[in-house]
């Protein structure tokens, strides 16, 4: 009886591990797809509106610099 429960627990643990690995792989693939899509979007924006992209990057950098600099 105890051996049956141990075997069942081991089987359930293995199934849970396999599901966790599958979920991790799916999340990793989705993240990589999102990063690739964001990269393509930024390249397209850079070609279409270089000044707007540059101004946005400078603005974000300025805001981050002010926020990080004010923590002193």
Does residue 48 carry a pLDDT above 70? yes
- The mean pLDDT of the chain is 93
Output the pTM of the full model: 0.58
Averaged pLDDT for residues 33-50: 94
Stated length of the chain: 72
Query: What are the structural domain ranges in the chain?
Result: 2-69
Residue 18, pLDDT above cutoff 90: yes
What pLDDT does residue 64 have?
94
Q: Cα(50)–Cα(57) distance, rounded to whole angstroms?
A: 11
């Amino acid at each position: 009886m105890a051996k049956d429960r141990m075997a069942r627990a081991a089987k359930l643990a293995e199934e849970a591990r396999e599901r966790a690995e599958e979920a991790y792989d799916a999340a990793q693939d989705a993240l990589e797809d999102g990063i690739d899509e964001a990269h393509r979007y930024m390249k397209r924006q850079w070609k279409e509106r270089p000044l707007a992209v540059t101004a946005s990057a400078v603005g974000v950098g300025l805001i981050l610099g002010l926020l990080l600099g004010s923590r002193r």
